[in-house]
Amino acid sequence: MKDLKVKGIIVKTVNVGEAGKMLTILTAQGKVRALAAGVRHAKSKRLSATQPMCYGEYVLKKNKDFYHVSACECLESFYHIRESVEKLALAAYFLELTEKTAEGHHLDEAVAWLLNTLYMLANKEHDLLLLKSVYELRLMQLLGLAPNLVACNACGDSEDDTCFHFHSTSGGLVCEACECDVAGAMLLDETTLYTLRYILYSPPQKLFGFVVNDDIVHKLTKICKDFLATHLDYPLKTEAYFWNILP
């Protein structure tokens, strides 16, 4: 069987035997699992290329049921993320969220979005909660699960931006008239609605440069948390950990 050469990001590792690791590599073509032998030895030359979050190039050999890593090179380790406990926890959440949700024809864009965001997390100082909401909303959009922020999901009304509510189960906005038919909708002020639209509809290069006050960040966080919990029916351990270690 021919060797497989892939570029991808390690989204998960599980220790195997005395010094091996089973890697899950997220690539633009799909998820690949591959066993890397002997890489947990402190002197292993393949230590950095087989760490979670490493973006690298991997040469894989098929052996019966799964692949073995025969060569690998770390192209980007996102080293600076590892210097902050909070950043590392947020990055781990991005990896798990993407690994569990991204599939099919959206994968190449999801991998690019993940790499782009990790790069920003590593090299710039951002409000971590704002970055979390931006990542979640744009990932949902790539997966075809974005909330509708254009008009009321129930009646289609798009006239008045000042009295929309956000309702996760309905899939986004509901107007004031329809809001009484749903439970748990949250009234949106104009700035929060504007910011949500900015995040979903701006070009990617504009997503890492804007700032909003803490009140808006708090509202975005709540909306995204609720929206993801409604549309992804599984808890993510890394998200719980992120909330636990925040000061």
Q: How many CB atoms lie within 10 A of CB 195?
A: 22
- Of these, 155, 240, 245, 246, which contacts Zn ion (CB under 5 A)? 155
List the structure tokens of 227: 């929206």
We find the least distance from the C-beta atom of residue 179 to Zn ion, in angstroms, to be 8
- Of these, 73, 157, 193, 238, which contacts Zn ion (CB under 5 A)? 157
Residue 106 DSSP class: G
Count how many Cα atoms sit within 13 Å of the Cα of residue 100 in the half-sphere of its side chain: 17
Residue 178 sits in the site that holds Zn ion (CB under 5 A) = yes
We find the least distance from the C-beta atom of residue 177 to Zn ion, in angstroms, to be 5
The CA radius of gyration of the chain, in Å to the nearest whole number, is: 20
Q: Candidates 20-28, 73-81, 168-176, 225-233: pick the segment binding Zn ion (CB under 5 A).
A: 168-176
Distance CA 23, CA 10 (A): 7
We find the least distance from the C-beta atom of residue 152 to Zn ion, in angstroms, to be 3
We find the least distance from the C-beta atom of residue 176 to Zn ion, in angstroms, to be 8
Residue 152 sits in the site that holds Zn ion (CB under 5 A) = yes
Distance CA 175, CA 164 (A): 5
Q: Quick one: 15 or 158, whose CB is closer to Zn ion? A: 158
List the structure tokens of 79: 């080293």
Helix (H, G, I), strand (E, B) or coil at 189: coil
- Of these, 36, 143, 175, 199, which contacts Zn ion (CB under 5 A)? 175
Sheet holding 186-187, edge to edge: 172-174, 165-167, 186-187
Q: Quick one: 54 or 173, whose CB is closer to Zn ion? A: 173
| Cβ atoms of 59 and 69 closer than 8 Å | yes
Q: Candidates 26-34, 39-47, 150-158, 200-208: pick the segment binding Zn ion (CB under 5 A).
A: 150-158
End-to-end CA distance of the chain: 51
Q: Quick one: 87 or 167, whose CB is closer to Zn ion? A: 167
We find the least distance from the C-beta atom of residue 181 to Zn ion, in angstroms, to be 9
Q: Candidates 20-28, 117-125, 129-137, 156-164: pick the segment binding Zn ion (CB under 5 A).
A: 156-164
We find the least distance from the C-beta atom of residue 124 to Zn ion, in angstroms, to be 40
108 has which bridge partners? none
Q: Using CB under 5 A as the criterion, what x/- string covers residues 94-123 for binding Zn ion?
A: ------------------------------
Distance CA 44, CA 170 (A): 52
Residue 185 sits in the site that holds Zn ion (CB under 5 A) = no
Q: For 38-52, give one letter per residue: b (16+ CB within 10 A) or e.
A: bbbeeeeebbebbbb
Q: Quick one: 184 or 204, whose CB is closer to Zn ion? A: 184
Write out the residues near Zn ion by the rule CB under 5 A.
152, 154-155, 157, 175, 178
